[in-house]
Amino acid sequence: MAKELTTFEEDWDHSLMISVLMVMGMVMLSSVMSSTIAPLTRQLQAQAYTGAVDSRELNATSSVKWINLIGDPPYNAWVSADFTNKGPGKAYVGVNTPGPWIEMESGGGGSVNMAGANKRIEVIFYKTDPGETAVITAIGKY
């Protein structure tokens, strides 16, 4: 049986086709990788502290009030927050939703750390018991 010889052109066509298929495969792989890496990058950026501190004094009454941290200056969601109730009444704080509430006696406090969460502290809700008032110090880090 005689061995068939291939020409340079046949080898060139074959090599060119393999190269084109490899490039197409790399393009497809890179698009899949970028769509996979982008959410991971956003999550890692959300985990990082910038080192900034934002301090707020909240005058609480029996009506539910809130501050929008991303809708008002300095437009930054907090990664963590420490709350202190200066009194005179009992105070309640809710993070991102009005409840569940962090209950704080006068002179007491509470903390929230969202370092491992997908969402940061964007809104703080606060109130007191009916007929009472309280001053709450909120110190956030972002």
Two structure tokens written together for 141:
């880090």
User: What are 24-39's pLDDT values in tens digits?
Assistant: 777 776 666 666 777 7
Around Cβ 110, how many Cβ atoms within 10 Å? 18
CA distance readout (Å), 73 to 28, 68, 101:
42, 9, 25
Q: Could you tell me the sign of the dihedral formed by the alpha carbons of 45, 49, 54, 55, in that order? A: positive
Q: How confident is the model at residue 124 (pLDDT cuts 50, 70, 90)?
A: very high
Fold of 53-141: Jelly Rolls (2.60.120)
The helix/strand count (H/E) of the chain reads as 1, 8
> How many Å is the maximal CA-CA distance in the chain?
105
Per-domain boundaries in the chain: 1-47, 53-141
pLDDT band of 41, cuts 50, 70, 90: low
Output 2 or 69, whichever has higher pLDDT: 69
Does 44 or 67 have the greater pLDDT score? 67
- Confidence grade of residue 19 (pLDDT, cut at 50, 70, 90): confident
Cα–Cα distance measured from residue 138 to residue 82, given in angstroms and rounded to the nearest whole number: 6
**21: pLDDT strictly greater than 80:** no
